[in-house]
Amino acid sequence: MMFGWAVCLICFLLLPLLGVATNWTGTGTALLFWVWILTRYNTAALVFLCLPLLLAGGLLWSGRLLLRLIQWRQAASAGLPFPTPGPKSAMAARLLVVLGCLLIPLFLLALLLDVNAGVYSRAWMVGSVIGALLYGLLKQGPEYRRARRGNWIMAGGAAVLLAVSLLPLSPLTARLQVAPPLAEQRLLPTAEATFREDSATFLAAHTEWTEWWSPDGTDYTLALEGQGWVLPWNWLANDVQNALTKQNMSPLPGYDGVWTDGDSYVLRRGNTILWVESGPPASQWLDQVLIHLEASTA
């Protein structure tokens, strides 16, 4: 129990440190970093969604165990028989165990979704299988029996994950994930080439794209970059909007839910937010993008 709570404490202490690191390295604000994790990993999204329940269950279980230890110590000091849990305490323990058993399939499903989406590298899966096989061949002594068993289990799990990552399940998994913003749409109708990188979980989605275009009468190409988020809650969308617009951005006259600083734009419809670094004039793309946003969030 103490080890588990120590690990949780270390993880929570690392959160602000990672946030500071993301700001220092210039990869974005800490909030956008954690939002990116929620749009990248189904397992992380599930942990975030179940975190209040997990913390409450852990506190109840730890409090119950601590109470039992105190009662047992008092009984041992007085030479009395150890007290047994009452019916309410036993029922609470059963409910916590059942809850944990119900969460296990959900976490396995989230892990399989991540594996099939290619979030985890196949290299470490193959390396785990090869390493376990080599260990089993080289360590044949009876003193390595337990270690070999653990390695075979690890190899079996890695092999299953590798097989899942190779299955063509994209049409099925797409139904379980949030659709990315402006799916199959362009910012610029006249774009000559577009590169998109989508990441989505069952909770949120993120898109990062670049479009290339050539101004009329020129022989050079310019790039238009943008990012988009589809978020599950209004409070989170408000925080992301504030993080994007806090630096010298003001509302664009004549438009609702549009902010600009002259060089970039932030657009919001519902819980969908776009950030666009504008190359061409906004008159060439802004109205069309807003129409697509309103259609996708209607």
pLDDT in tens, 258-277: 998 888 899 999 899 999 88
Contact 82, 111 (CB under 8 A): no
pTM of the model: 0.74
Closest CA to 195 of 229, 230, 231, 223: 223
Q: In whole angstroms, give the CA distance from residue 101 to residue 190.
A: 53
Q: What is the Cα–Cα distance from 38 to 84, expressed in whole angstroms? A: 43
> Given this model, what pLDDT does residue 21 score?
46
**Number of C-alpha atoms within 13 angstroms, CB side, residue 99?**
15
pLDDT at 231: 93
Q: Which amino acid is at 203?
A: L
* pLDDT for residue 13: 52
pLDDT of residue 279: 67
- Averaged pLDDT in 10-residue chunks for the chain of 298 residues: 50 51 48 88 89 79 81 82 76 80 87 86 81 76 74 80 82 83 76 83 91 70 84 91 84 90 88 84 81 80
Give the three-state DSSP class for 274.
strand
The tokens describing 58, both together, are: 């852990």
DSSP string, 1-25: -HHHHHHHHHHHHHHHHHHHHHHHT
Tokens of 287: 């109205």
Rounded distance between C-alpha atoms, residue 230 and residue 182, angstroms: 10
Residue 279 to residue 294: CA distance in whole angstroms: 23
For residue 111, the Cα-to-chain-centroid distance in whole angstroms is 11
Give CA–CA dist 154/160, Å, rounded.
10
- In this predicted structure, what is the pLDDT of residue 228? 92
